[in-house]
Amino acid sequence: MIPAPPSRILQPAGWAAPRGFANGIKARGTMVFTGGQIGWDGQGRFTSTDLAGQVRQTLANIVSVLAEAGAGPEHVVRLTWYVTDKREYLARTTEIGAAYRAVMGRNFPAMAVVQVTALVEDAAKVEIEATAVIPD
């Protein structure tokens, strides 16, 4: 008997296919949670003032934290994004998508994007939390 895959995308019948995210993920294994990561480097310095550049660094930070647990981008099942400017996010989806794929590959987990009035770090334009599941 072939074992079930460690995770499965949940796509209700008749729903339009989402672009760049999944409506839901079913997973089994060890859960890993990251704190909210922002677009600064490991020394707390922002390397970009650009939203897409900050997204790329933020995702790289998530991958670094996940690596400490033996996980990678392929194990991410959920991302929650907090952006300070919805219009900028929507205007830059092409660049943000390219930055995402460069770091995360073609793994598209369940995802939410929320606009907030501000983040704790004034220079931050995005903060992202991740949940990953390492298969049993």
Mean pLDDT, the chain, as a whole number? 93
Residue 57 falls within a domain, yes or no? Answer: yes
In degrees to the nearest 10, what's the CA dihedral of 126, 6, 105, 51? 0
Compute and round to an integer the Cα radius of gyration of the chain.
15
Condensed to tens digits (0 to 9), the pLDDT of residues 66-95 reads 999 999 999 999 999 999 999 999 999 999
Predicted confidence band at 101 (pLDDT cuts at 50, 70, 90)? very high
Tell me the C-alpha distance between 24 and 7, whole Å.
10
Instruction: Assess contact for 132 and 76: CB atoms under 8 A.
Output: yes
Whether the model clears a pTM of 0.95, i.e. scores above it, the answer is: no
- Residue 72 included in any domain: yes
Give the least confident one: 14-28, 76-90, 108-122: 14-28
Say if 5 falls within a structural domain: no
Tokens 């939390």 belong to 129
- Tell me which residue has tokens 């903060």: 127
Provide mean pLDDT across the span 115-121: 97
**CATH number for the domain harbouring residue 70:** 3.30.1330.40
Please give, one letter per residue, the 3-state secondary structure of 55-67: HHHHHHHHHHHHH
**Backbone torsions φ then ψ of 96, nearest 5 degrees:** -65, -40
Any domain includes 79: yes
Task: Quote the tokens at residue 119.
Answer: 């983040």
Domain tally, the chain: 1
In a domain, 4, yes or no: no
Domain carrying residue 125: 22-134
